[in-house]
Chains A and B, each alone.
Chain A
Amino acid sequence: MFSFMGEITLSPPQAELARLPVESKIFLEGPDGSGKTTAGVARLLGLLERGVPGASILLLVPQRSLGQPYLHALRTASLPPGSPVALHTLSGLAQRMVELYWPLVAEAAGFAHPDMPPVFLTLETAQYYLARLVRPLFDEGFFASITLDRNRLYSQILDNLNKSAVVGFAHTQIGQRLVSAWGGEPGQARVYQDAQECASRFRQYCLEHNLLDFSLQVELFVRYLWPDEGCRGALLETYRHLIVENLEEDVPVTHDLLAEWLPHLDSCLLIYDQEAGYRSFLGADPRSAYRLKALCPQRVTFTGSFVTSPMVIALGECLGRALQTGSQAPASPPPGTSETSDSLPAYQAALSFEVQRFYPQMLDWVAGQVAQLVQDEGVPPEEIAILAPFLGDALRFSLANRLERYGIPARSHRPSRSLREQPPVQCLLTLTYLAHPGWALPALPTQFDLAYALMQSLEGMDLVRAQLLAEKALLRVDGQPRLLPFERVKADLQERVTYRLGERYEHLRQWLEGYAQAPAQELDHFLGRLFGEVLSQPGFGFHANLDAGEAAANLVESAQKFRRVAAVGLADLGKPVGQEYLEMVQDGVIAAQYLRSWRGEAQGAVLLAPAYTFLMSNRPVEVQFWLDVGSRSWYERLYQPLTQPHVLSRNWPEGKHWTDDDEYKTSQEALYRLALGLLARCRRRVYLGLSELGEQGYEQRGLLLRAFQRLLRAAPQEASGV
């Protein structure tokens, strides 16, 4: 082992890679956990140490979380002072280039107002515009034969556009591609034509209004900016060194771009994980990535694992066989490979499980095992990950709650959480209605909404008093909500609520009424003021409440983003943007979701996460718990009636029908990759949470469970169970 810059310990192959001459173009491949990222980090630090300016290095990642090890190293390493290294995803780079070179390409790309600045849409705002275009089409019979909630319908249309952009085909081919692969009832193919029509209309609308959704950003970059000499020249000049992490998780147009870019670079390091490809539903294409190997003169392959123990490796081998070969081959390892001398499988120490009858019993067992690990065996909580294929709210809450009873903190990572569901946001929405009585939907806010808002906004307000006050204080004047001044509340009720709380109520009420009487401000400004001037002050509920503060900040940000882009289309409707925003949030059209930051993670907490999210965080742990092992969600792709990631990929032969065989093979491959990917990120042991009846009360028989059954059946009985 070698110490690099006194900070990273490297194996000989890693050290060798880091020491390769600056002007090297390297393709590094290897399995999960073989030390590729560490080598990549060492390479980056080495470049900087050897005087390569940070600003000339581009770190390209498929999603920002995968750049964390690099950012962490850059923050902590003792490096010579210099310009910062750029970290981008394809879309980040695209957006930046579009911002810089908009006037160059806007007209050629067909935008109606090239002289006006572009408006970048978030997923939320793109969905909002799309909803406005599509809604009237339902009455014309669009999508009549599918059963899908509206928000998913919109997101799938957007997804099709995104696929066309990242795979690199014209958005006008979406419908035709989907139809030609459709093998079901012919009439059903019509929905693909409907989806095409909506995508085309949306694209047209974006071009007319200078709106850029993700797909347009990428297309603009790939089709107009990159071929433009000036733009390309600037990029080539700026970035002379490229490090691409998880190349296999990136999309084909990124690979195309890289293929053209590589010859012009001074150096590159392309890191390819041999067994991954987890983001294929987002367009990731390992096969497309692998062709770049031919363009790199230096090719390095890492083997083995720095992460997992021999027992976990043995478990991976056996499980892999059980998954891959199905019932055609024995799941136990061939003689002499992973067996121990007493014939118990070598993975025995890496696998624990217990079968429970009911789902909550299984959760109890999991919490108990975690407590034992933490309290008796001294495993740090952050070294434990509880993973499920799908982490629903009830499951997340139940687990966190059980762990809390053992005094073990938990944190959860889900890609997104709906703002609307958070109590502080509900409180803010209620107060917003009261400050904008004309915006309120009929019957909103309810007396319950007000009571809960009072509980949260006034320090010391309890449910009993909040309910008593809300019952009397919420009035409707001409159908609009109004709050009764505290002095006009009956004396005995005043006394019950207490004058101290009454004062706080009155302060809040007067502030809201004062606001309502003044000229209206933008919603995000209003929320900012409400938080700053009232709620965060001593005596009010958000004072010193960090969670509530964070929720408020997220709501402000969401409303602000919405205002910035939605004002374009709303000007002609004569409706306040804030009102539209509230309606959309209440209606669920805008889910008001935000991506949770992966930074600032709480240390000392057990991680609860969906399996894929955990994989993409690329952080190994000591112990993993796998829940819902019988569930199909471990391998099933998201079934989306309006889109199909495999059919829209570059590898799908034109005109070929998507069959059940394809479905089954894809599922099996996905499960194989996922299970082994998880094991590659587990150092010591996997616990299986098994319950005969699943969360909904039904038995489950998914492929993963069946693979474990095969594996255990092949092993002596002692190997199974805790």
Chain B
Amino acid sequence: MFKLRPRQEEVLAYPGGRMGVSAVPGSGKTWTLSLLAAETIARGELDEDQEVLVVTLVNSAVDHFYQRVRTFLEQRSLLPLNFRVRTLHGLAHDIVRERPDLVALGDTFQILDERQADAIRREVAQAWLRSHYAEISAYLDPNLDDDRQDTLFQKQLPELATGTALSFIRSAKDERLTPQRLRQVLDGLPVPLPLAEMGQAIYSDYQRALEYRGAVDFDDLVRHALHVLEWDPDLLERLRFRWPYLLEDEAQDSSRLQELILEQLAGQHGNWVRVGDPNQAIFETFTTANPEFLRRFIKSPGVLARQLPNSGRSTQSIIDLANALVTWTQSEHPYEFARDALQEPLIQPTPPDDPQPNPPDDPSAIRIVLRKFTPQQEVEAVADSLEQWLPDHPDMTVAVLAPRNERGKEMVKELLERKIPVVDGLLNTTNATRLSAGALNSLLQHLADPDSSSKLAKVYAIWRRGMEEEPSARVLLEETASWLRRLKRVEDYLWPQLGQDWLAETGLGETAPRVHAELEALRLVVRRWQGAILLPIDQALLTLAQDLFTEAHELALAHKLALLLRQASNLHLEWRLPQLITELNAIASNERRFLGFSQDDTGFDPERYKGKVVVATLHKAKGLEWDRVYLMSVNNYDFPSGNPGEVYFPEKWFLRDDLNLEAEALAQLGAALNAADSWYVEGAATRQAREGTVRERLRLLYVGITRARRELVMTWNTGKRGNCTPAVPLLALHNYLKERQDEAAA
């Protein structure tokens, strides 16, 4: 049915037990794993109640995986049964739902999303700061003047404390420490550890706030799942029966607890396949993930080690460049600590007659631009290049990838100003979701301020959106909206008293009957909406949505938003319409990524955006590919190499001794737990964190390069202060290319 590569055949010949697969970018690991799932099911050995469990990294991959396995099964005339695709959190939720009482949860426990959890953490951290001025001041740069310190306490320090608390709490949960247990540990220390004290205090209050609300966060969900499995052997046995095969994708981003959960589920002799690319582990900084777990697994005795080294994604030159980064890192990186950041296997092109041959090679399609740009100049240069390239390549895909969200947004802004078609769904909540949430938000804003004629006009535009594509309708819409904007007293139109009907007085019934009809129809619908505002927020929103949306995914989104606002309203009984609007606004205006139901929410496909520029962060680009890729900001700030003078983002300018407070807090936690083995030395963790950053950024660069199929452009900028230099690996790759060119010329 499929022509498989020999290495893929090896993977699909999986005999059971434990297998670890190192894959390179573009080797089709998701495809192979989906096929493996389908073939396992097709063998017919599974009981009706058994499922192949596929665990993947992010929500957007779940649907993608599901559809692939489903397609493979349908090709074999099988029903899409006997498999389940979950993220770690989804799986943890499934497990905890089996027996929430085992971890002292009620059946109605709520899961707070990141924003809700963050809001609570922020509140708790701020309260802590207010009462612990002295403790935190000990970490400030002593040269700061008093005014500066005041500003810091208003803005930067709460942010830093919240961020530090997030990592601290996450790590404590990863260690499965309750605040109470941690308190006992800290009380037993000979010398107090101030940052661990801070972390414990915030953790304790944060957890109490969650308990009060009957809620858990994502990290709780994971540790609870592990507890449930450990404490109830019968349940574990039942789940092992239910999931006799575990297939784990993106295993390089697995955390310790994820590994432990899957280890429990697999049991000593269970079937567990882990597929990943340690070279693409780029979430270490944000989470407790670590590529070492996968590396160790693959090397463990009894684990069948396999490789998927062939990739048909990129041209030979791009493959060579990515491989050059690996070999340079291993042998020439100026610092020893970084040399294991990237490891073999190197990428190999696909064999002859492969159904996915590599694109024809064009060494000149790789450009490393060493010209010194300011950040704005770099954005402009990339935009200039796109302006030239796009018209000639309407059938090709292109992406601009930046190391940080803000940089991506600057790029989007520039492209929008130049009217270059741009897609920023990977930076934000997707457009479709944002528009739907935005439409509902506009309606709520009108209901919160019903006297505003401009908001009413906006409501009209939203109600009739979709009609504006028709030129004749556009005129009508504009004319109607302009009448609405001119309204002085909204009530005389919507709820006229006897003899004061604004609409009747306009005479539009005779002069412009279509406009009149529009205004008449709008009046009826808005009256209904205004009546609905008395209902609880979820019901109000559903009422609005039913008049506003027709597409199934929009209605499904409205339903989800209604539940979300209801939850928010239950959590904050004092909230009224303005606060709920703010909540919805956060989704509509991108502050909060919200998983909707449109196609982009459930799996971004670059092929849908030919002729448009996709702007994304490197992190969000993982798993995706484009014909042409721009990698921006490849300087020593975003890609440091460990050289003196380099600035590291987590080391705040207002802290003394360039300390990385987050790393120091985690080190204090570690020291508290292992007091017998080693003790905390200030600054050591900051240095280690730098090394970690250097390694991870090398992998991030590797990920960026391997997103390109045919063409690759890499640029750098001098940074906000003008003192950044090209990243060391960028120079190395530039040299490599030059040598190649020289060789070719010779």
A interface with B by C-beta (< 8 Å): 144-150, 152, 183-185, 188, 191, 326-327, 357-361, 393-394, 397-398, 401, 421, 423, 426, 443-444, 446, 448-449, 452, 455-456, 462-465, 467-468, 496, 498, 500, 586-588, 632, 636-641, 644, 659-661, 663-664, 693, 695-699, 701, 706, 709-710, 713
Contacts of A148 in B (CB 8 A): 104-106, 109, 211, 214
- Assembly CA distance A147 to B100 (angstroms): 10
B interface with A by C-beta (< 8 Å): 47-49, 79, 81, 84, 90, 97-109, 178, 180, 210-216, 220, 227, 231-235, 237-238, 447-451, 489-491, 494-495, 497, 527, 530-531, 533-536, 538-539, 542-543, 546, 552-553, 555-556, 558-560, 562-563, 566, 573-574, 576-578, 595, 597
- Assembly CA distance A711 to B131 (angstroms): 63
Contacts of B578 in A (CB 8 A): 448
Pick the contact of A660: B106, B238, B538 (CB < 8 A).
B238
Pick the contact of A641: B101, B495, B536 (CB < 8 A).
B101
Contacts of A636 in B (CB 8 A): 107
Q: A465-B491, A641-B106 are in contact. Are A401 and B216 (CB under 8 A)?
A: no
Residue of A nearest to B208 (CB): A144
- Cβ–Cβ contact A397 & B102, under 8 A: no
- Cβ–Cβ contact B494 & A149, under 8 A: no
- Cβ–Cβ contact A660 & B597, under 8 A: no
Pick the contact of B104: A149, A191, A698 (CB < 8 A).
A191
- Assembly CA distance A632 to B235 (angstroms): 16
Residue of A nearest to B541 (CB): A394
- Assembly CA distance A455 to B533 (angstroms): 11
Pick the contact of A639: B100, B534, B539 (CB < 8 A).
B100
Q: Which 7 A-B pairs have the closest CB atoms?
A: A660-B234, A149-B214, A660-B235, A146-B104, A327-B48, A639-B107, A462-B495
- Assembly CA distance A659 to B237 (angstroms): 12
Between B98, B178, B527, the greatest number of chain A beta carbons within 10 A of the residue's beta carbon is seen for B98
Between A327, A360, A500, A699, the greatest number of chain B beta carbons within 10 A of the residue's beta carbon is seen for A360
- Assembly CA distance A361 to B559 (angstroms): 11
Between B84, B104, B213, B562, the greatest number of chain A beta carbons within 10 A of the residue's beta carbon is seen for B104
Contacts of A641 in B (CB 8 A): 100-101, 104-106
Q: A149-B213, A697-B597, A713-B79 are in contact. Are A188 and B104 (CB under 8 A)?
A: yes
- Cβ–Cβ contact B559 & A640, under 8 A: no
- Cβ–Cβ contact A644 & B491, under 8 A: no
- Cβ–Cβ contact B214 & A147, under 8 A: yes
- Cβ–Cβ contact B495 & A184, under 8 A: no
- Cβ–Cβ contact A183 & B556, under 8 A: no
- Assembly CA distance A28 to B296 (angstroms): 68
Between A443, A465, A710, A713, the greatest number of chain B beta carbons within 10 A of the residue's beta carbon is seen for A465
- Cβ–Cβ contact B231 & A183, under 8 A: yes
Contacts of A359 in B (CB 8 A): 556, 559
- Cβ–Cβ contact A361 & B552, under 8 A: yes
Contacts of B533 in A (CB 8 A): 452, 463
Name 26 A/B residue pairs within 8 A (Cβ), A-sorted: A146-B104, A146-B211, A149-B213, A184-B101, A185-B231, A326-B48, A327-B49, A357-B552, A358-B552, A358-B556, A394-B566, A397-B542, A401-B543, A426-B534, A448-B448, A452-B533, A463-B447, A464-B491, A467-B449, A586-B573, A660-B237, A695-B559, A695-B563, A701-B84, A706-B49, A713-B79
- Assembly CA distance A659 to B497 (angstroms): 69
- Cβ–Cβ contact B232 & A660, under 8 A: yes
Contacts of A701 in B (CB 8 A): 84
- Cβ–Cβ contact B539 & A393, under 8 A: yes
Residue of A nearest to B235 (CB): A660
- Assembly CA distance A229 to B231 (angstroms): 51
Contacts of A695 in B (CB 8 A): 559, 563
- Assembly CA distance A579 to B553 (angstroms): 46
- Cβ–Cβ contact B232 & A397, under 8 A: no
Between A188, A398, A496, A637, the greatest number of chain B beta carbons within 10 A of the residue's beta carbon is seen for A398
- Cβ–Cβ contact A358 & B101, under 8 A: no
**How many Å from the CB of A569 to the closest CB on chain B?**
24
- Cβ–Cβ contact B530 & A397, under 8 A: no
Contacts of B220 in A (CB 8 A): 147
- Assembly CA distance A148 to B108 (angstroms): 8
Residue of A nearest to B556 (CB): A358
Q: A360-B556, A465-B491 are in contact. Are A394 and B538 (CB under 8 A)?
A: yes
19 new A-B contacts, CB < 8 A, other than A147-B109, A464-B495, are A145-B104, A145-B178, A145-B180, A150-B212, A188-B102, A326-B48, A397-B542, A397-B543, A426-B534, A448-B578, A463-B533, A468-B451, A468-B491, A496-B491, A659-B232, A659-B234, A693-B556, A697-B560, A697-B597
- Assembly CA distance A455 to B527 (angstroms): 13
- Assembly CA distance A185 to B102 (angstroms): 8
Pick the contact of B491: A462, A659, A661 (CB < 8 A).
A462
- Assembly CA distance A587 to B570 (angstroms): 11
Between A146, A421, A455, the greatest number of chain B beta carbons within 10 A of the residue's beta carbon is seen for A146
**How many Å from the CB of A325 to the closest CB on chain B?**
11
Contacts of B536 in A (CB 8 A): 393, 421
- Assembly CA distance A701 to B233 (angstroms): 22
- Cβ–Cβ contact A360 & B539, under 8 A: no
- Cβ–Cβ contact A183 & B106, under 8 A: no
